[in-house]
Amino acid sequence: MTALLLQTRLPVSDYDLAATLACGQAFRWRATELGWEGVIGPRWVRLRAVEGDILAETVASPDDWRWLVDYLQAELNLASILATFPDDEPMRASVEACRGLRLLRQEPWECLASFILSSTKQIVQIQQIVELLCTRFGSALATPLGARMTHAFPTATQLATTTEADLRACKMGFRAPNLLAAARAVDSGELDLNMVGQGTVEQAREELMRLPGVGPKIANCVLLFAYGYQQAFPVDVWVMKALRQLYFPKRQPRPERLQRFVDTYFGPNAGYAQQYLFHYMRTRR
DNA sequence: CACCAGGGTACCT
DNA sequence: AGGTACCATGGT
């Protein structure tokens, strides 16, 4: 299905699209000759940097671009966030290596489902699994000719009516029953994702962790990337490596000691600092 | 080809 | 409480 393209230009400062879209917080962005192509909610989107601003193309429908500004966090004052990071050598190196990296504000269901699929998977593989899931179960989108991303992320309701075997066919292995359980919980109303963002970060985390296959790490990713709880600090293998190597090179602190450290040391935007450490560790050398 | 990947859980001392 | 095997798949 082809459609007319609509353009807008978002004024931004200090925004690195590549770092932001490919740093492992979202999984549906691909670099093409014409820019970064992806899907936000029910819309196909293409983005590219033009004179420091962001030029966005989508198919005609909205005359309001609020959904895009929110997703990209285009109006966020990044410098005021970075100013709250601890003034130490690892964070200085991370900020230097991650110029213009932003945290996105993603749709909760897509974020939750994607990170349920992420456990012990490389980012490239997560992208492949998510794309299989979208083409098989997501609704077809209005797209320009030659688009790579042609389907929306499947809704919880769409996935709730699949089977574990259907999902395993998308190469997600042992994660299939966990995704199915999450889809059913959201579809049935047993888990209300709109309510999760209302309470404290602890309440929200507890609610998400009631799902099978959702532990502290995945819950924190959703809290940070979808709900914007800046205190949420996901610790994966890379961040663990960063913490041990850069902050505790001598001895190995116990998990509880480490948890207390990340919850106090990195300040009010600890989650943001975490993403900078993550990207720094993954891109150096 | 081993080794590892944006983990979580059940089961064992 | 703290270790450990296992889960499925494929990139490096």
Q: What CA–CA distance (Å, rounded) separates A110 from A96?
A: 30
- Contact between A21 and A36 under an 8 Å Cβ cutoff? The reply is yes
Verdict on whether the full-model pTM lies above 0.95: yes
pLDDT at A63: 74
CA–C1' nearest nucleotide, residue A173: C8
Q: What CA–CA distance (Å, rounded) separates A110 from A70?
A: 16
Banded model confidence at residue A82, pLDDT cuts 50, 70, 90: very high
Does the CB of A173 sit below 7 A from strand B? no
* A62 pLDDT more than 90: no
Is A281 or A4 the better-scoring residue by pLDDT?
A: A281
| For range A220-224, the mean pLDDT | 98
Q: What share of chain A is helix, strand, coil (3-state, %, to 5)?
A: 45, 10, 40
pLDDT at A110: 98
Is A259 or A182 the better-scoring residue by pLDDT?
A: A182
Residues with CB under 7 A from strand C: A 120-122, 124-125, 128, 168, 171-174, 254-256
* A55 pLDDT more than 70: yes
Q: Given CA atoms A54, A58, A60, A62 in this order, what sign does their dihedral have?
A: negative
Q: Within 7 A of a protein CB, which nucleotides of strand B?
A: 4-9
Does the CB of A271 sit below 7 A from strand B? no
pLDDT at A1: 55
As separate numbers, helices (DSSP H) first and strands (DSSP E) second, chain A gives 15, 5
CA of A203 to C1' of B10 (A): 25
pLDDT at A17: 98
Taking the stretch 11-70 of protein chain A, residues with Cβ within 7 Å of any atom in nucleic acid chain B are: 23-25
pLDDT at A252: 83
pLDDT at A127: 98
* A144 pLDDT more than 90: yes
* A69 pLDDT more than 80: yes
pLDDT at A2: 58
3-class state of residue A251 by DSSP: coil
Does the CB of A259 sit below 7 A from strand B? no
Identify the helix (H) or strand (E) that includes residue A193: helix A193-196
Q: What CA–CA distance (Å, rounded) separates A208 from A75?
A: 29
- Contact between A74 and A12 under an 8 Å Cβ cutoff? The reply is yes
CA of A200 to C1' of C10 (A): 38
Q: Which residue segments constitute the domains of chain A, with CATH numbers given?
A: 6-75 (3.30.310.40), 76-96+230-285 (1.10.1670.10), 108-225 (1.10.340.30)
pLDDT digits (tens, 9 = 90+) for A91-111: 999 999 999 999 999 999 999
Order of strands across the sheet with A35-40?
Answer: A5-10, A53-59, A43-50, A35-40, A30-32
Nucleotide C6, nearest residue via CA and C1': A174
Does the CB of A237 sit below 7 A from strand B? yes
| For range A176-180, the mean pLDDT | 98
Q: Within 7 A of a protein CB, which nucleotides of strand C?
A: 2, 7-12
CA of A274 to C1' of C3 (A): 27
Banded model confidence at residue A256, pLDDT cuts 50, 70, 90: confident
Mean pLDDT rounded to a whole number for chain A: 96
